[in-house]
Structure 1
Amino acid sequence: MTGYTKPKAVVLLSGGLDSTTVLAETAARGYQLYALTVAYGQRHAAEIAAAKRVARAFAVVEHRIAQASLDAFGGSALTDAALAVPEDGSTRTTIPITYVPARNTVLLALALAWAEVVGATDLFIGANAVDYSGYPDCRPPFLAAFEHLANVATKAGVEGARYRVHAPLLYLSKAEIIRRGVALGVDYGLTVSCYQADAEGRACGRCDSCRLRAAGFAAAGVPDPTHYQTG
């Protein structure tokens, strides 16, 4: 269409499997991609490096890395080195120690701030309410509440813009996510999902995130390209 300009979207990109699939999905929907990665004080920098690789692979319009020092508060095994990452794979009925207090609230707030600056009204996040670890900020009520906040807490919102928070993976299993990503041409070998990857980005193979990822590839019938630690 002559004169058509693609809408802009800010996509939260951690460098993991889910967020990379969301980036591919957003591109498939015809958006201009503004990828936002947040260094929030997580245990390792491997996922930041992975996010850079993914952003290059998708030729995003711009990739920003923002700082949010959630490790200053701790309270999570992902931001406090004194807390061990669970490796027992047991079924839990409580929110696990890998939950980072208010992380998705902070990440979406940063995405919203950048979206208002670049003129985007669509925010994309890889939240999942099926194969997830029980995090409260991955649930539909949280996403709906943040969308409402975005529309009442911004200059653009009160002047008539309509912000939308998209979570295209919300009701998909890990296997379904992987199949969707493969169909979209995602190279999952670029991604890092492990909670305690080493300096080279190799996965431990023992944490909850590694277990979910490995089970997803097995269920999807897709070869697992994850780089694992040896020994």
Structure 2
Amino acid sequence: MSVDFQSMHARQPNAPAVVLLSGGLDSATVLAIAKKLGYAPYALSFRYGQRHSSELDAAVRVARSIGAVRHEIIDLDLRRFVGGSALTDDAYAVPTSPGPQDEIPITYVPARNTIMLSVALGWAEALGGLDIFFGANAVDYSGYPDCRPDYVKSFEATANLATKVGVESHEESTRFRVHAPIIKMSKAEIIKTGIELGVDFSQTVSCYQANSEGLACGQCESCRLRREGFKSAGISDPTHYAK
């Protein structure tokens, strides 16, 4: 599967779009897609209490490299809600092997995408934009409930119910859209798309527990999916590993 750039072009040239940017492989590709489609991308990242800041350092590099109009990093400390995720509570260890397929993994952060998309919605409305992009993926993903197509559709409906623009608009062309362009793509397909768009994946950090230098552990689920993606794509893995 690939992105249909012909049918997904921006509503108008350089229309503002907010792009959630974690600093990882997926979100970097989504930022490049938004740029390719003709949007003026405004990158949005969060310091939410994740285990390391290396991914935010990566987000800064990626936003600059791809050409975001502006990049904001919002402080939102989810560690204050103790429990629930290995990414925000040190009492839980980051798993190094896949868990049962019918269980949501401990790396799921409660309501994270909903919180981040809500902030993105506020910024988009303030910018006079109608488009939000984020890197949800329902193929090579860890079973997160807020990465499913039904969730994306639901949040888009909420966006149009909860905003001045949504309430006042009577035409589909002037309503909010939430874009998840890689949601049905495999990790290999995402990587190939990113390469075609000139994404430098050596700048990205996907590891759940990268060290202060951005070196990946090579053992967590995110590292495994990333490594297998490059292998399936037939592309040399540019990831910087600690070991």
Superposition TM-score tier, normalisation by shorter sequence: over 0.9
Amino acid at match of 2:221: D
Partner in structure 2 of residue 57 of structure 1: 65
Q: Whole-Å Cα distance in 1 between the matches of residues 218 and 143 of structure 2?
A: 20
Please say if residues 9 and 33 of structure 1, whose CA atoms lie closer than 8 Å, have aligned partners that are also in contact.
yes
Does residue 95 (structure 1) correspond to residue 104 (structure 2)? The answer is yes
Q: 1:218 to 1:5 in 2, by over 3 A?
A: closer
Report the number of matched residues: 227
Partner in structure 2 of residue 37 of structure 1: 45
Q: Whole-Å Cα distance in 2 between the matches of residues 176 and 60 of structure 1?
A: 23
Q: Secondary structure at the match of 1:15?
A: coil
Find the partner of 2:165 among 149, 156, 175: 156
Q: Whole-Å Cα distance in 1 between the matches of residues 26 and 189 of structure 2?
A: 11
Amino acid at match of 2:233: A
Partner in structure 1 of residue 4 of structure 2: none
Find the partner of 2:95 among 86, 94, 100: 86
Does residue 199 (structure 1) correspond to residue 212 (structure 2)? The answer is yes
Q: Whole-Å Cα distance in 2 between the matches of residues 126 and 5 of structure 1?
A: 22
Q: Whole-Å Cα distance in 2 between the matches of residues 214 and 5 of structure 1?
A: 36
TM-score, normalised to structure 1, is 0.96
Deviations 1:32-89 (A, max 9, x none): 0100001111110000000000011022111011122111113100000110000124
Q: Matches of residues 145-224 of structure 1 in structure 2 within 5 Å?
A: 145-160=154-169, 161-224=174-237
Q: Whole-Å Cα distance in 1 between the matches of residues 32 and 106 of structure 2?
A: 30
Question: What's the offset of the Cα at 1:181?
Answer: 0.5
Question: What's the offset of the Cα at 1:151?
Answer: 0.4
TM-score, normalised to structure 2, is 0.91
Does residue 120 (structure 1) correspond to residue 133 (structure 2)? The answer is no
Partner in structure 1 of residue 150 of structure 2: 141
Amino acid at match of 1:69: D
Please say if residues 87 and 208 of structure 2, whose CA atoms lie closer than 8 Å, have aligned partners that are also in contact.
yes
Q: Whole-Å Cα distance in 2 between the matches of residues 217 and 5 of structure 1?
A: 33
What percent of counterpart residues are identical? Answer: 60
Please say if residues 39 and 67 of structure 1, whose CA atoms lie closer than 8 Å, have aligned partners that are also in contact.
yes
Partner in structure 2 of residue 8 of structure 1: 16
Question: What's the offset of the Cα at 1:91?
Answer: 4.9
Q: Whole-Å Cα distance in 2 between the matches of residues 181 and 187 of structure 1?
A: 8
Question: What's the offset of the Cα at 1:92?
Answer: 3.1
Deviations 1:162-217 (A, max 9, x none): 00000000000000000010011110000000000000000000000000000000
Partner in structure 1 of residue 8 of structure 2: none
Q: Whole-Å Cα distance in 2 between the matches of residues 182 and 128 of structure 1?
A: 18
Q: Secondary structure at the match of 2:106?
A: coil
Please say if residues 89 and 211 of structure 1, whose CA atoms lie closer than 8 Å, have aligned partners that are also in contact.
no
Partner in structure 2 of residue 66 of structure 1: 74
Q: Secondary structure at the match of 2:22?
A: coil
Q: Whole-Å Cα distance in 2 between the matches of residues 5 and 126 of structure 1?
A: 22
